[in-house]
């Protein structure tokens, strides 16, 4: 089996840093790059693209709400149609920076509150994914399995891939347990490794309640702000290898219907 | 002779408007679109591109300093190399918005203080133009004749075109008379028309002191905030026709060395 | 009877203007000044305060969401407690600017989506009004009659005053008819005058459905972006005089319980 | 002798942090609080004020240029008179937040490029200090000895105090050695302690060239981004005690002319 190992990178702004991108990127196969709306700025984007390229990682656009103070985590009552242009703006900005660096944008995902809103709203999902399709129909869209975003991508015939948050607990409803709850973040690398093994062999995950949840996911995500993301990524790599699977970049994953 | 008729458009932000783009664009052959740093936002960019496309105008990126409050008119001590990414960011954002609209970015210019700084600084000009070349070497760069920006574009083998500010007075040094000085802005459409006729037939302009200044320019600019820009644009169109010349979009101008 | 005549002023940003403040302010008795979150910047605030002072108008803080692109009109999922600091920030910024100008902040209101959210949410209203009270308990809070904001102000023993939107249609529920609906904005000065007369003599307003709505309001608002706000303000002044009432600034209105 | 121990705090923005304020503040006697232009936001300001109050520290406004991406370190061609309002805006914002917390703003300084520009420009210094005086003449202004800022404060009869950067090397011209130069930052706590002892006993500092520079300074600053700022602060406290001097908050320092 082929899986992708991915994290949100370039989440600083100006003089501010978040996470240790330089240490983590060499362990990944693809990275999501913040595009200046919720985090990131043009210089950080360029640096992140250069780091990704040097490490053989593919880059994708991490598209967010225009809310630097709130890190794109606060829902805003955007009007979907007008937000189309904001999706294109972020995507194009990264495209030009990647092109100038001799690299290429291969995928994208929606960050934070924007991602949550699209996941549950047919119309918003169709609008956002439609904006992407207007620019580049070959981009891979990564999102949690079962979201409206995935349905919208499939309806448009675009490639998409399910995300498994390797360092986060899931509820029985298939959603991430909110960060403010106890046990929502998994920090033990061994535990993370076991979850990845199970995902690959079984396509399931144990929920926080102990039930088994189907998880048709091929991109394994870790969060750079999780304590010791490097250890987590290393554990994931070992777990993947132990199953005889391979880590490849996002665009090299098989199409979803052959998962 | 072929000339282009051009203005800076899309200079609003959010709910704020500047100039009457809808009235002016149909009279132009190309428009410069603000890209969110000194003015403009993604929605306004999309609207401006749509208006331009409907009017048969080409669009170009109007690239500025990150200074919305100052409208990009205040010099900032940017470091050229790091600003490379900001040029790409703006250019790419417009590229994606234009692509989604079925239109195309054909040209660019540097706005306000960024333009002034590049015009006089070999290294900054080379850095900024070099950034553009990394993304798309076929873009036409418009700038005042004789600037370092033009020299940098020519050194890189990129197409460039000289700007004639049809509604502004020039000093004997070839620079625009600053706006705060009397007589710096020309509002009489007849006077604007006569200046354009002279430019086309003679390639010169009368300075504010009455001397004759060579002006090897092919793109005629008007400012949307000049009172009655529509009358000015109409006068320019008539003046161009009276000389038997034609108005064409920026990319259809002949290369500079054949001016 | 004493009433206040009020408008939202200083709603430009940087080089952008909104409405003709210089023409309207001399007709008012108090103005709400945007504080840089949804509109306004420090220089515009200072200019607006100076205009207000010259015209004998009181100034108040118009406190909004941090959303310049959306003009503070998009709901955001702010956390009330943390927004406390943002209320203080805006209020203090205007306080210092007014103090330096030899003027004084006497009142405040919540703008756009923030105002709408507080109006309907006990907890948010109590939090926002509580923030104000921590800084200055003597400020007058203006809000539509019947809102949670008014209840919160009264619960804290703060002065408040009901707003009557003289140029807007009301529904039977006491809410403004949304702008996108037909007949939501009243532009005929005579009609505006008649509504003000009825308000003063009767404390009621005719809803868009023709029913009579109690309207215990003492501050009459007009919107500067309404076409011909000057004519509207003039009509209001005449209407007030015709009833033998007087226009006074916000802080000179009688306490609400003696309305 | 009485000296103040001070650092720039609250320099995060939104989700981003800079330095470990919680560890450092208890060792200080006063803190400069970033006010949202170059760093800081309303929530961070409130948190910083609360930490300062709990530690018995006075708070002052750290006033900067409107440049979050550049952290206020890039010179901008601001017009002094119009920047007056921006000084007041920042000062007032902190004033309200401090007032609501039961604390008080006692001092201020100009950050980064704004501080550098004012230090060398009579007119700008007079304008900025004049803006402060219009709001509160009792604030103490801290700046490097010998700057135009200090002269402007003295000319207006305002209290001021000289800054000694305890962890930074000085040139023979009395200016800080730029950060990009070797040996510009002093990280050895013992060395920092010795410099403070010399300052207190001698009112001089050894420059990077080994000459002795008069240093009439009473506020000892450390930078939170210096590696191990806590060790540095501890060393300073011990050095001050070893001379029999006391650390007191900014407003309790004696007036400058009695230094």
In this structure, the strands spanning D58-63 and D160-165 are: unpaired
How far apart CA C38 and CA C64 sit, in angstroms, is: 5
Helix (H, G, I), strand (E, B) or coil at C159: coil
Does residue A134 sit at the B interface (CB-CB below 8 Å)? yes
Helices (H), D55-138: 80-100, 112-119, 122-135
Does residue A78 sit at the C interface (CB-CB below 8 Å)? yes
- What's the Cα-to-Cα distance from D38 to each of A79, D86, D96, rounded to whole Å? 31, 12, 19
For all residues of chain C together, what is the average pLDDT? 95
Predicted confidence at residue D256, as pLDDT, reads 65
Contact B232, B224 (CB under 8 A): no
Min Cα separation A20/chain D (Å): 13
Helix (H, G, I), strand (E, B) or coil at A77: coil
Within the 83-122 window of chain B, which residues sit less than 8 Å (CB to CB) from chain A? 84-86, 88-97, 99-100
Query: What angle do helix axes B122-135 and B112-119 make, rounded to 10 degrees?
Result: 110
* Residues C13, B71: C-beta atoms closer than 8 Å: no
Query: Beta partners for A107?
Result: A60, A140
Contacts of B94 in chain A (CB under 8 A): 92
* pLDDT surpassing 80 at residue B226: no
Predicted confidence at residue B145, as pLDDT, reads 94
Contacts of C71 in chain B (CB under 8 A): 14-15
Kindly list the partner chains of chain C, i.e. chains with 3 or more CB atom pairs below 8 Å.
A, B, D
Handedness of CA A232, A234, A235, A236 (dihedral sign): positive
DSSP state of D138: T
Min Cα separation A63/chain B (Å): 13
Write A78-81 long-range contacts (CB < 8 A, 24+): A78/C70, A78/C74, A80/A123, A80/A124, A80/A127, A80/A128, A81/A127
Percent helix, strand, coil in chain D, to 5, is: 40, 20, 40
Q: Which residues of chain D have pLDDT under 50?
A: 258-259
* pLDDT surpassing 50 at residue A28: yes
Single pTM value for the model: 0.96
Q: What is the pLDDT of residues A213-253, one digit of tens each?
A: 999 999 999 987 766 899 999 999 999 999 999 999 999 99
* pLDDT surpassing 50 at residue A191: yes
* Residues A100, B134: C-beta atoms closer than 8 Å: yes
% of chain A exceeding 90 in pLDDT: 92
In this structure, of A179-188, C91-100, D117-126, the range with the lowest mean pLDDT score is A179-188
Does residue D69 sit at the A interface (CB-CB below 8 Å)? yes
Closest by CA position to B110, among listed B41, B167, B45, B61:
B61
Predicted confidence at residue B180, as pLDDT, reads 87
Q: What is the pLDDT of residues B145-174, one digit of tens each?
A: 999 999 999 999 999 999 999 999 999 999
Write D207-214 long-range contacts (CB < 8 A, 24+): D207/D169, D207/D170, D207/D171, D207/D172, D208/D169, D208/D170, D208/D171, D208/D177, D208/D183, D208/D184, D209/D171, D209/D172, D211/D172, D213/D170, D213/D172, D213/D174, D214/D145
Q: E strands of D101-245, at which residues?
A: 105-110, 140-143, 160-165, 204-206, 212-214, 219-222
**Partner residue facing B75 (CB), from D66, D69, D77:** D77
**Which of left, alpha, beta for C211 (phi over 0: left; psi -120 to 50: alpha)?**
beta
CA B34 to chain centre: 11
Predicted confidence at residue A226, as pLDDT, reads 66
Render C111-149 in DSSP notation, one character per residue.
-HHHHHHHHT-HHHHHHHHHHHHHH-TT-EEEE-TT-HH
pLDDT range class, residue C226, cuts 50, 70, 90: low
Nearest CA in chain A to C78: A74
Predicted confidence at residue B256, as pLDDT, reads 65
Closest by CA position to C79, among listed C36, C132, C127, C150:
C127
Q: In this complex, how many residue pairs, one in chain A and one in chain D, have their CB atoms less than 8 Å apart?
A: 33
> Torsion over CA of A25, A30, A34 and A40, rounded to 10 degrees?
30
* pLDDT surpassing 70 at residue C37: yes
Min Cα separation D182/chain B (Å): 20
DSSP state of B16: B
Predicted confidence at residue A259, as pLDDT, reads 41
* pLDDT surpassing 50 at residue C195: yes
Predicted confidence at residue B259, as pLDDT, reads 41
* pLDDT surpassing 50 at residue A258: no
Predicted confidence at residue D257, as pLDDT, reads 52
* Residues B17, C16: C-beta atoms closer than 8 Å: yes
* pLDDT surpassing 80 at residue B228: yes
* pLDDT surpassing 90 at residue C227: no
Contact A144, A138 (CB under 8 A): no
pLDDT range class, residue B10, cuts 50, 70, 90: very high
* pLDDT surpassing 50 at residue B23: yes
* pLDDT surpassing 70 at residue C84: yes
How far apart CA B38 and CA D100 sit, in angstroms, is: 35
How far apart CA A190 and CA B247 sit, in angstroms, is: 69
pLDDT range class, residue A256, cuts 50, 70, 90: low
% of chain B exceeding 70 in pLDDT: 98
Predicted confidence at residue D259, as pLDDT, reads 41
DSSP state of A169: -
* Residue found under tokens 């495209």: A95
Predicted confidence at residue C256, as pLDDT, reads 65
How far apart CA B223 and CA B242 sit, in angstroms, is: 22
Predicted confidence at residue A225, as pLDDT, reads 73
* Residues C99, D134: C-beta atoms closer than 8 Å: yes
A contact test, residue of C71, C76, C124, C180 with most A CBs within 10 A: C76
Tokens of D160: 């001021």
Contact A174, A146 (CB under 8 A): yes
What residues have CB less than 8 Å from A188, skipping those under 6 apart? none
Q: What is the pLDDT of residues A100-137, one digit of tens each?
A: 999 999 999 999 999 999 999 999 999 999 999 999 99
Q: What is the pLDDT of residues C140-191, one digit of tens each?
A: 999 999 999 999 999 999 999 999 999 999 999 999 998 889 999 999 999 9
Predicted confidence at residue C259, as pLDDT, reads 41
What residues have CB less than 8 Å from A258, skipping those under 6 apart? none
Q: What is the pLDDT of residues C197-209, one digit of tens each?
A: 999 999 999 999 9
Predicted confidence at residue C258, as pLDDT, reads 43
Q: E strands of chain B, at which residues?
A: 2-9, 30-34, 58-63, 105-110, 140-143, 160-165, 204-206, 212-214, 219-222, 246-247
* Residues D66, B66: C-beta atoms closer than 8 Å: no
A contact test, residue of D15, D47, D112 with most A CBs within 10 A: D15
- What's the Cα-to-Cα distance from C102 to each of A215, C137, D81, rounded to whole Å? 65, 20, 17
Contacts of D131 in chain C (CB under 8 A): 100
* pLDDT surpassing 90 at residue B241: yes
């Amino acid at each position: 089996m082929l899986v992708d190992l991915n994290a949100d990178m370039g989440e600083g702004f100006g003089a501010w840093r978040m996470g240790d991108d330089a240490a983590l990127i060499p362990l990944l196969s693809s990275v999501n790059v913040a595009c200046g709306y919720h985090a990131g700025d043009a210089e950080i984007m360029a640096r992140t693209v250069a780091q990704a390229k040097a490490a053989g990682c593919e880059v994708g656009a991490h598209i967010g709400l225009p809310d630097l103070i709130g890190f794109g985590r606060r829902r805003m009552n955007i009007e979907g149609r007008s937000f189309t242009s904001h999706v294109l703006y972020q995507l194009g900005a990264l495209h030009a920076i990647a092109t100038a660096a001799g690299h290429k944008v291969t995928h994208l995902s929606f960050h934070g509150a924007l991602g949550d809103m699209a996941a549950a709203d047919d119309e918003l999902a169709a609008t956002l994914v439609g904006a992407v399709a207007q620019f580049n129909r070959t981009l891979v869209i990564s999102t949690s399995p079962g979201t409206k975003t995935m349905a919208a991508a499939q309806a448009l015939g675009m490639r998409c891939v399910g995300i498994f948050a390797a360092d986060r607990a899931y509820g029985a409803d298939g959603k991430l347990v909110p960060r403010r709850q106890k046990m929502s973040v998994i920090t033990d690398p061994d535990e993370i490794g076991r979850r990845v093994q199970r995902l690959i062999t079984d396509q399931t995950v144990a929920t926080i309640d102990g039930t088994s949840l189907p998880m048709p996911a091929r991109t394994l995500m870790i969060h750079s702000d999780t304590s010791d993301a490097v250890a987590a990524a290393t554990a994931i790599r070992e777990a993947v290898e132990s199953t005889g699977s391979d880590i490849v970049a996002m665009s090299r994953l098989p199409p979803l219907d052959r998962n």
